[in-house]
Amino acid sequence: MADAYKCAGRLQDAADTLRSLLGPLGHEAALAAAAQSQPGSPLAPVLTSSPVLAPTTTTTTTTNNNKDNDHLKNEQTMIPMSKETRLALLCQLADIQLAIDEAALETAFETELHGHPLPTVMEESPAGATTSTAAQSPPVTPNVELTPSGGRDPGSPPSSPLSPISPSDGNNSTPAQAQANRLAQRARQQALQRTTGPPERSGSMLQLDLLAAQALVDDEEMEHSTADTLVEIILDAPLALRYSKYMDEFLKRCLLKLFSTTARSVEREHFRLSALREAHALVARGGCCTPLPYEAALWLLEEEEEIRGGQVCMSGGESSANLLCGSGTTTSSSRVIRGGGGGGGHAPQQHDVNSYRVRCAFDNFAIRMIHQFPTNPSARVCLGLLMRRKAHAQEGTVRPVPQALRRQLEALLSGAMTDDQRIDCASGWKALAELQYENRRYEEAHDTGMRGLRWLQARRARGHEALTQIALALRLVIAKSLRRMGKLDDAETHFKSLAGWTTEGECAFGELSGAAPTSVHQQALRGIALCALGRGDRAGAKAQYERILGKAALGRGPGEHWAHGDYGWLLFEDGDLQGAREQLEQAVQEAQNGTTYVTDSQLGEHQYRLGEVYWAMRGRYRNDKKYAYLCFLEAARAEGHAQAPALAGLGRYLDQVDKKPEAAARCFKKALALDPTLDIAGTVVFSDTFEEE
């Protein structure tokens, strides 16, 4: 009978037939069970008298002359069936319900797109008067770039069995048309909540509003909801590709609820954590057949890191961070128990979870995704992020990242991020741009930063949260790359903008990308000082560094290693050897204390500069190997800007102190091969060559 109804296009009758065979689902079953367990409760007579909530055991008699309705009621007798048969019927019911939802969605889209007024739904007010609930909304903007599902042109006639709603259909609308009305009205309310004036929506935003409204309306249904059917399939179905579309559809509806609320709101936070728990529940069943739960969990955790600064606020009796980190037990879907416990309807309990919990949850999802979908672009990006974080952090300390490993990580990330449309991990843009800058590929770092900013802007236009911290880090890489490329005016403009946007104590955290929190304000001030130094304004640059270190001394910001290193080098060039030695020793100490992110090239630059200061101070600082010689040797081992001059300094020591001209000549030749502009190395090498001739 259900197949006959489906072939005749009577989808609602087909769904009712299957539902009568299956009995109560989801919330209906919970209410019926509560009524049977508490027969003396006030709700028991109401629940047991409902033909939908309480399945009958005898044939229901009726005086209705409609044969179809009689047949539907007669089929409400519960028939024993196997688990496989029940699962097959659930899948048929879900397919029909999804088709009904799609038809209602398309009808609402056509109505809103072409500006047809919705039929007025009359409700009875508390005073007894009838009031109209149809929301008034201006026409949607005609520039439509996104077509409805199925790829059909919005201007063509609708292909669904539902015809467009006209004003005359107000009191004779079908249930599907009434659902389309509710979707359109809810979508208008959502658009009005986001803006203070009349909402101007494009085709893509209209479709997103309708999808979010559909997810909310279906979740509010007390009976016959599509979500209940999907949950029943998820709980009963084995891990197989044929059932993956139902799991993905349920998770998509959980994610769509986020876009029904405004950004940074409490409601969106609630929907985000609920979707995160649903993604974890799907993954914890032993894996998924599609990467959607993993991808959703990754960008949900990124938004949590953005909003909470590495601290996630979870609700429920047990911290969801503990659950995601593997310390808790797997719970069932929150949709299944929405009538009972699990935090539904209760005031959420707040739990402060540090950034380690967020990274642990991110790593758990990422590792599972890498093993199950190794060729997925987002999985490859996560692999690069995990390797980068492991490269510089071990046993709670931070260590310099070698140049060779940075190049491998850059190759891995750049190969995975060729297609912007297939990337769901925003931290990958930050990591790739920073690695390219650290590897002295400044043009590539600038281009990656611009691509990342465009990707973040498009992501925000689709209704996601604004990832401000990642955007600040990308703009900082762009400005630093412009300075290295010699475009001082453009770089200084970016640095001044960053300094104005951020405060002294504000840090751009990005632990998921494998980098420690960075003070954007101080980095911008350093960039301004370096731009002034590039123009020859040494006094302005020196004053800028004194301002940075002065604020750090007053506790208004960290005194990072680069500030001590740059200021100490300026003092050395001005002839203040004692002050330069103190600042550069402090820079090396800060870089080696294991609490800040530093590369081997940055540490090598500090050591080379300190070696030059020791060499200029003469005496034991020049002759004793634990001073100048040790600094030059350590700096020569790290690839970077300071490697060639460090080799030249090491050759100077071998030639003038150790009296080993052959070893000194080898150091000078290698330094000259790395940097032909080194005058000292070239003079000594050529002089030795002439003496041999």
Tell me, yes or no, whether 450 and 435 share the same domain. Answer: yes
**313 confidence band (pLDDT: 50, 70, 90):** very low
**Residue 80 belongs to some domain of the structure:** no
Tens digit of pLDDT for each residue in 246-271?
Answer: 999 999 999 999 888 888 888 888 99
Residue pair 261/267 in contact by the 8 Å Cβ criterion:
yes
**Exposure letters 539-573 (e unless 16+ CB within 10 A, then b):** eebbebbeebbebbeeeebbbbbbbbbbbbbbbbe
Do 442 and 532 sit in the same domain of this protein? yes
Q: What is the pLDDT of residues 217-237, one digit of tens each?
A: 777 776 678 888 898 898 888
Residue 499 maps to a domain:
yes
Please write the tens of the pLDDT for every residue from 571-622: 999 999 999 999 999 999 988 876 677 888 888 999 999 999 999 999 999 9
Same domain, yes or no, for 586 and 455?
no
For the chain, how many helices (H) and strands (E)?
A: 30, 6
Least-confidence region, from 204-208, 211-215, 678-682, 683-687: 683-687
Q: Per the domain annotation, does 465 fall within a domain?
A: yes
**Is the same domain home to 550 and 603?**
no
Q: Is residue 114 part of a domain?
A: no
Q: How confident is the model at residue 172 (pLDDT cuts 50, 70, 90)?
A: very low
Give the C-alpha separation, 617 to 251, whole Å: 67
The whole-angstrom separation of Cα 284 and Cα 611 is 55
pTM: 0.72
**378-407: burial string, b at 16+ Cβ within 10 Å, e else:** bbbbbbbbbebbebbbeeeebbbbbbeebb
**Which tokens is 10 given?**
């009577």
Question: Is 674:644 a contact under the CB 8 Å cutoff?
Answer: yes
Look at residue 474 and tell me if it is in a domain.
Answer: yes
Residue 327 lies in a domain: no
Asked if 495 and 527 sit in the same domain, the reply is: yes
Which residues, at least 6 apart from 318, have a Cβ–Cβ distance to it below 8 Å? Answer: 328, 331
Alpha carbons 482 and 615: distance in angstroms, whole number? 33
Question: How crowded is residue 613: how many other Cβ atoms within 10 Å of its Cβ?
Answer: 27
Domain boundary among 559, 589, 622: 559
Residue 486: other Cβ atoms inside 10 A = 10
> How open is the CA angle 436-438-440, to the nearest 5 degrees?
70
Do 593 and 642 lie in a common domain?
Answer: yes
674 belongs to a structural domain: yes
Which whole number is the average pLDDT over 290-308?
89
Place of tokens 């201007």: 155
Instruction: Mark whether 455 and 580 lie in a shared domain.
Output: no
Q: Domain containing 633: what range? A: 566-693
Whole-angstrom distance between the N-terminal and C-terminal Cα of the chain?
105
Does residue 355 surpass a pLDDT of 80?
no
Q: Quick one: which of 261, 300, 330, 552 has its CA closest to 424? A: 300
Same domain, 548 and 640: no
Residue 458, pLDDT > 60, answer: yes
In whole angstroms, what is the distance from residue 430 CA to residue 348 CA?
33
Distance in angstroms (rounded) separating the CA atoms of residues 459 and 454: 9
Q: What total number of domains does the chain contain?
A: 2
Residue 680's domain is classified under what CATH number? 1.25.40.10
Banded model confidence at residue 420, pLDDT cuts 50, 70, 90: confident
Q: Which amino acid is at 604?
A: G
Q: What is the pLDDT of residues 152-162, one digit of tens each?
A: 333 333 333 33
Strand partners, 401: 599
The pLDDT score that the predictor gives to residue 255 is 92
Query: Does 630 score more than 80 pLDDT?
Result: yes
**pLDDT at residue 75 greater than cutoff 50:** no
In a domain, 320, yes or no: no
Percentage with pLDDT > 70 across the chain: 65
Whether 663 and 593 share a structural domain? yes
CB 118 within 8 A of CB 184: yes
436 and 485 inside one domain: yes
At residue 337, the pLDDT reads 29
Domain final residue, candidates 559, 589, 606? 559
Amino acid letter at 16? D
CA distances, 88 to each of 22, 84, 92, 448 (Å): 11, 6, 6, 49
Residue 529 shares a structural domain with residue 590: no
Residues 528 and 587 in one domain: no
Question: For residue 24, what pLDDT band results from cuts at 50, 70 and 90?
Answer: low
Residue with tokens 């609490």: 595
DSSP code, position 230: H
Q: Tokens 């949607």 label which residue?
A: 140
Structural domain ending residue among the three candidates 536, 559, 582: 559
